[in-house]
Amino acid sequence: MDAATLQTTFVDLSTPHLADACLRLRIPVRCAPARVRPLWSGVHVAGRVRPTQHCGSVDVFLEALERSDPGDVLVVDNQGREDEACVGDLVALEVARAGLEGIVIWGLHRDTAQLRSIGLPVLSEGAYPNGPERLTPQPADALDVAQVGAHTVTAEDLVVADDDGAIFVPLGRASEVAEAAARIRDTELAQAARMADGTSLREQTRFADYLAARADGVTFRQHLRSLAAAIEE
């Protein structure tokens, strides 16, 4: 799936819908840590992961851009460090000029005002004034794999990010995840519309029937599946 198709396919899908879809399809749900947040609201990013391990210098980012394609998303592994910011305005400008869709950082950023002015979507764990004072050897796989919290990502992954955070999906299963997420989204929209018209969620989910069936070992999720409801998976 090329960058343009990824954008078109995922533009109306939220990270919660994608997480529910992965769960439904028995795909491991890989979300960035909860502290990885966008610098401003209303962002939506979807693109192939361009993994990068930060080692104390911006040269690794420039090298990553040499390997990137327009539409990729720079995913920066700085081990969640809280003693340095690893991405600032010049890196963001270069990433934007290279045609990438955004930056997701497991770590900190700086130059917040300038980043907002640049307008390239950036997610990080927070702001910190000081840049790195260290310089460590670059691992052999620094441009092949990145760790984001508990999860390992590569260029074989898609990242989608919005106001709720970031989620990683195997590129090879992107189409089926998108289809499942769209069904969940449409079901929830229909449920919300019915609630607005006066039909409660308990009525829509036949909650009284579930309470009766619970004695026979039926879980709420099993009950919802029988109704094609998407509140939980």
β-bridge partners, 152: 147
Q: Are 43 and 162 within 8 A, CB to CB?
A: yes
**91 labelled binding-site residue:** yes
**110 labelled binding-site residue:** yes
Q: Are 156 and 69 within 8 A, CB to CB?
A: no
**59 labelled binding-site residue:** no
Q: Are 58 and 64 within 8 A, CB to CB?
A: no
**172 labelled binding-site residue:** no
Burial 81-113, CB ≥16 within 10 A → b, else e: beebbbbbbebbebbbebebbbbbbbbbbbbbe
**111 labelled binding-site residue:** yes
- Other C-beta atoms closer than 10 Å to the C-beta of 183 total 16
DSSP assignment of 204-223 equals HTTHHHHHHHHTTT--HHHH
**102 labelled binding-site residue:** no
Query: Which residues does the annotation place in the binding site for Mg(2+)?
Result: 111
Query: Which residues does the annotation place in the binding site?
Result: 88-91, 110-111
Query: Which residues does the annotation place in the binding site for substrate?
Result: 88-91, 110
